[in-house]
Amino acid sequence: MLFGLIVAGLLVGIVTLQAFVAQQSFRMQDLQERTRELQLQYGELKAQAAALSAPSRVAAAAQRHGMVLPDASQVQTLRVPGIDPPPGGTTGSDAPPSAALKPVIGEEP
Amino acid sequence: MTQGRHEARRTSSPNTRRAQHGRHEAHGPGAHGLHGPHGKHAADHHGPAHRVMAMFVVAALGLATILTRLVVLQVRDANALTSMAVDQRVRDLTLPAPRGTIFDDSGTELAMSLPAKDVYADPQLVRDPASEARAIAKTLKIKVTPVRKLLATRTDSQGDLIHFVYVQRGVALNVAARLERASLPGIGFTSDTRRYYPAGALAPQVLGFVGVDGTGLAGLERQYQQLLTGRPGHEVVQEDPDGTLIPQAGSTSTPPVPGDDLVLTIDRDIQYQAQQSLAQAVRANGGSGGSVIVMDPHSGDILAMATYPWFDPNTFAEANPNYLRNRTVTDVYEPGSVNKVITVAAALQEHSVGLRQRFVVPDQIRVYDAVIHDAETHPVQTMTLADILAYSSNVGAIKVADTIGQDRFYRYLRRFGFGQPTGVGFPGESAGILPPVDTWSGVSLATMAFGQGLAVTPLQMASVYATIANDGVWVQPRLVRGTVDANGKFQPAPAPDTRRVVSEHTAAVVTRMLAYAVDIGTGVEAQIPGFWVAGKTGTARIPRQNRPGYTKKYVASFIGFAPASHPALVIAAVIDDPATIYGGVAAAPLFKNVARFALARLRIPPAAKPPIPPHAVSPG
């Protein structure tokens, strides 16, 4: 009797476990699909952001608003040690800001 | 016979069956099989043995058949069947490695890979090629005729049926989705990626482009193909017929290794402005093209590199092939008077000419069988080195070169980087043309003194001025600042090669002379309010193709740096075949436009005016 109960209990347990594993598997599939969709969305948004900030677009928008480029002599730069970037500012060795995201989000299409 | 026996037994009376039953009971159960029915009829007596035998034979045959089939399945066909089962259930998916992104100096994407779809067709399944082609062409914005031809061609040249043909590769997902909704018979889609250049025609010749198979075909895309490509991954999963993963079936996965990112030295704002100014200058001067380089003389970083006309790398296949080359690196030209800076620097470095030494300079001079003129007629003048540079006298430069001698002059040309690639890291970089000194003719030294008879790339020439701006040290120019690996770790590019060409003192003196040339000489159009500029004009004739002599066309150029006494930027401006041939007229304003934007963009403050060098000609 006891043996029968134990066997029955085990059977129920195994079946329940199997069902749970199957359920998690389907959930995992859903999440993977969702991840893929978000990665696609991320890539598209990144591309959109890059295109929207392209100099040609910004320049055209500025011109529409009547803006013109100043002469170099009209630009005055105030320097505060420790706050302003160094003159030129183009030869630093920092990675681009998006580099930190790469291992997390990747460039996955 | 068996049927007859059954019928015979069915005709026996119930009484007989009861009697037989009674006999069974009388003899006991143990005797039933031996003496029951067998004792009454001969046929009944031998029947069971036959039946047992028959059953045995049938069973044996059945077992043998099963066994044979088992052997066939488990031994002979085992591998094939296993393979078939695996094929039905197991999916080996290739996980594409994303191609690395190319960033500008500030970390903005200049080239990136996006998911896309390839559109293909099975012509055997296409019902109406004409109408489907129209629908496809309209959605994909391509020409109808080639698509119709693809859909209507059902056999290849050998008569075999065509079941697969690409209609268009690398289609944007939203566009592909529109086409998918149309559910055109025979049209299918596969996943792919496409290379996207979000800023369009920004530095296209520098970036290059990528073919439909993901291979870099030109520019940095080609130069760094291996680094950008990455390594595809694999995933093995088990699926049911509906494509649903089988739980607990297990899967193995090797993730793809994304390509490294490339961080350039290009500043996209300066690049854009350089391109706009270049296009405007070429059009204003009726030129056929031109180029601009903006460079940091201390690090060798190239902040802008423009060639006009250009193209949009997103649609490179439609571009004029002549526009695809990065001519600042791949094409050479005779530099003309901008080369006089080497003549003057070499003379100063070798002390063959004193700073206050005066030359008697007519407007023409005979050198062996050639008569060489200054650009304009003038009376015989007394000139110092500074005057010769400021007023760009060819005759004066020849006299200075004579004091150096051809062997030493050749060495300086080499040390300034002529006749060898700069090593900037770009495919197809030209070494320029510098004939070995032992092949020089009697006039070679004279013509090279003012920049004819040799050929350089605009980048080589910009590097010469960067050397002067960098206190006499040549720095290898570079386009790539570093790479970012799959873990996001930035790896700086190796430090550029450097070599001292002239002393710091010589560089400083030459800088004063170049500033003087812009202040009162041929380069006045390059002046920028609030800044002191050092630079030199160049007006060089274009040689004939494949035969000696020159055409009537010119290359106008201006190369200089600012601020003169504290150089932060070197800018080379070159215009091909302008209607206004002089570098001081055609190219100097281009230099000015680019420089004033770049100075403001990089927040470079003005610097003090350099001292005026000794001169003999009164300005004005």
B496 touches chain A (CB under 8 A): no
* B296 vs A contacts (CB less than 8 Å): 88, 90-91
- pLDDT score of B433 more than 60: yes
List, in sequence order, every beta strand (DSSP E) within B410-527. 473-475, 480-484, 490-492, 498-500
- What is the model's pLDDT at position B41? 52
- What is the model's pLDDT at position B17? 44
Which candidate from A21, A75, A103 shows the least CB-CB separation from B247? A21
Fold (CATH) for B96-233: Penicillin-binding protein 2a (Domain 2) (3.90.1310)
Alpha carbons B509 and A45: distance in angstroms, whole number: 53
Q: Where are the alpha helices (DSSP H) in B172-267?
A: 173-181, 204-207, 219-223, 225-229
Average pLDDT over residues B137-150: 92
Closest Cα in chain B, distance from residue A5 (Å) = 27
Alpha carbons B297 and B563: distance in angstroms, whole number: 12
**CB neighbour burial string for B199-235, b if at least 16 within 10 angstroms, e if fewer:** bbbbbbbbbbbbbeebebbbbbbbbbbebbbbeebee
Pick the catalytic residue from B113, B277, B291, B337.
B337
- pLDDT score of B34 more than 70: no
Alpha carbons B550 and B556: distance in angstroms, whole number: 15
Q: Which DSSP category does A98 fall into?
A: G
**Phi, psi for residue B247 in degrees, rounded to 5:** -60, 145
Q: What share of chain A in percent tops pLDDT 70?
A: 67
B-facing residues of A in 79-108 (CB < 8 A) are 87-91, 93-103, 106-108
Domain extents in chain B: 2-74, 96-233, 268-601
- pLDDT score of B449 more than 70: yes
The residue written with tokens 């391509």 in the block is B142
- What is the model's pLDDT at position B46? 62
| pLDDT band for position B96 (cuts 50, 70, 90) | confident
**Phi, psi for residue B433 in degrees, rounded to 5:** -125, 110
Which candidate from B261, B276, B596 shows the least CB-CB separation from A72? B596
| pLDDT band for position B28 (cuts 50, 70, 90) | very low
A74: in domain: no
Is residue B334 helix, strand or coil?
coil
> Average pLDDT over chain A, rounded to whole?
77
The closest alpha carbon to B277, from B593, B616, B607, B617, belongs to: B593
Most confident range, picked from A41-50, A61-70, B330-339: B330-339
Which candidate from A69, A101, A103 shows the least CB-CB separation from B486? A103
- What is the model's pLDDT at position B9? 42
> Average pLDDT over chain B, rounded to whole?
88
Cβ within 8 Å of residue B82, ≥6 positions away: none
Pick the residue of B102, B235, B603 with the most A CBs within 10 A to test the interface with A by mutation. Answer: B603
Q: What is the pTM of this model?
A: 0.80
- What is the model's pLDDT at position A1? 82
Cβ within 8 Å of residue B164, ≥6 positions away: B120, B121, B122
Do residue B605 and residue A87 have CB atoms under 8 angstroms apart?
Answer: yes
The residue written with tokens 């003012």 in the block is B450
How far, in Å, are B14, B155, B281, B572, B583 from residue B289 at the CA level?
Answer: 121, 47, 9, 14, 14
A81: in domain: no
- What is the model's pLDDT at position B37? 46
Q: Do residues B533 and B523 touch, judged by C-beta distance below 8 A?
A: yes
Q: Which DSSP category does B424 fall into?
A: -
- What is the model's pLDDT at position B25? 40
Q: Which long-range contacts (CB under 8 A, 24 or more apart) does B147-151 make?
A: B150/B121, B150/B123, B151/B121, B151/B123, B151/B126, B151/B186
Q: What domain count does chain A have? A: 1
- What is the model's pLDDT at position B19? 40
- What is the model's pLDDT at position B94? 79
| pLDDT band for position B538 (cuts 50, 70, 90) | very high
Cβ within 8 Å of residue B340, ≥6 positions away: B388, B389, B392, B397, B449, B450, B451, B536
Residue B448 is inside which H or E element, if any? helix B444-449
- pLDDT score of B16 more than 80: no
Average pLDDT over residues B376-402: 94
Judge if ipTM > 0.85: no
How far, in Å, are A1, A18, A19, A39, B572 from residue A8 at the CA level?
Answer: 10, 15, 16, 46, 87
B334 touches chain A (CB under 8 A): no
Alpha carbons B279 and B264: distance in angstroms, whole number: 23
Average pLDDT over residues B315-343: 95
A43: in domain: yes
Alpha carbons B338 and B451: distance in angstroms, whole number: 7
Cα angle B506, B507, B513 (rounded to 5 degrees) comes to 90
Alpha carbons B610 and B616: distance in angstroms, whole number: 18
The closest alpha carbon to B308, from B285, B334, B337, B342, belongs to: B285
Q: Is B337 a catalytic residue?
A: yes
Q: Where are the alpha helices (DSSP H) in B268-339?
A: 268-284, 327-330
The residue written with tokens 């109960």 in the block is A5
Boundaries of domain holding A27: 20-62
Alpha carbon B506 to its chain centroid, in Å, reads 40
| pLDDT band for position B8 (cuts 50, 70, 90) | very low
A107: in domain: no
| pLDDT band for position A24 (cuts 50, 70, 90) | confident
| pLDDT band for position B253 (cuts 50, 70, 90) | confident
B304 burial (CB, 10 Å; 0-12 / 13-18 / 19+) is: buried
- What is the model's pLDDT at position B404? 97
B299 touches chain A (CB under 8 A): yes
Average pLDDT over residues B485-502: 93
Pick the residue of B99, B104, B106, B108 with the most A CBs within 10 A to test the interface with A by mutation. Answer: B108
- Residues pairing with B263 in the sheet: B103, B482
- pLDDT score of B163 more than 70: yes
Q: Do residues B572 and B557 touch, judged by C-beta distance below 8 A?
A: yes
Q: Do residues B278 and B292 touch, judged by C-beta distance below 8 A?
A: yes
β-pairing, B490-492 with B480-484? antiparallel
Cβ within 8 Å of residue B430, ≥6 positions away: B329, B330, B331, B332, B421, B457
Alpha carbons B350 and B354: distance in angstroms, whole number: 10
What is the dihedral sign for C-alpha B72, B75, B79, B82? Answer: positive
- What is the model's pLDDT at position B20? 44
Question: Widest CA span of chain B, in angstroms?
Answer: 159
Average pLDDT over residues B183-196: 89
The closest alpha carbon to B573, from B561, B384, B564, B320, belongs to: B561
Q: What share of chain B in percent tops pLDDT 90?
A: 66
CATH class of B268-601: alpha beta
A34: in domain: yes
Give pLDDT tens digits for B461-478. Answer: 999 999 999 999 999 999
Closest Cα in chain A, distance from residue B530 (Å) = 5
**Phi, psi for residue B256 in degrees, rounded to 5:** -70, 150
Give pLDDT tens digits for B210-238. Answer: 998 889 999 999 999 999 998 888 888 88
A66 touches chain B (CB under 8 A): no
Average pLDDT over residues B79-90: 85
- pLDDT score of B191 more than 60: yes
How far, in Å, are B69, B517, B522 from residue B60 at the CA level?
Answer: 14, 113, 113
Average pLDDT over residues B302-320: 95
- What is the model's pLDDT at position A106? 52
The residue written with tokens 């160094």 in the block is A86
- pLDDT score of B354 more than 60: yes
Residue B9 is inside which H or E element, if any? helix B2-11
- What is the model's pLDDT at position A79? 65
The closest alpha carbon to B294, from B509, B536, B479, B513, belongs to: B479
A26 touches chain B (CB under 8 A): yes
| pLDDT band for position A90 (cuts 50, 70, 90) | very low
Cβ within 8 Å of residue B521, ≥6 positions away: B389, B390, B391, B392
Q: Which DSSP category does A47 fall into?
A: H
How far, in Å, are A91, B20, B226, B603 from residue A85 at the CA level?
Answer: 11, 119, 34, 10
Most confident range, picked from B113-117, B131-135, B211-215: B131-135
**Phi, psi for residue B327 in degrees, rounded to 5:** -70, -15
B168 token code pair: 């268009």
B114 touches chain A (CB under 8 A): yes
Lowest mean pLDDT among B420-424, B500-504, B596-600: B596-600
- pLDDT score of B295 more than 90: yes
B193 touches chain A (CB under 8 A): yes
Closest Cα in chain A, distance from residue B11 (Å) = 53
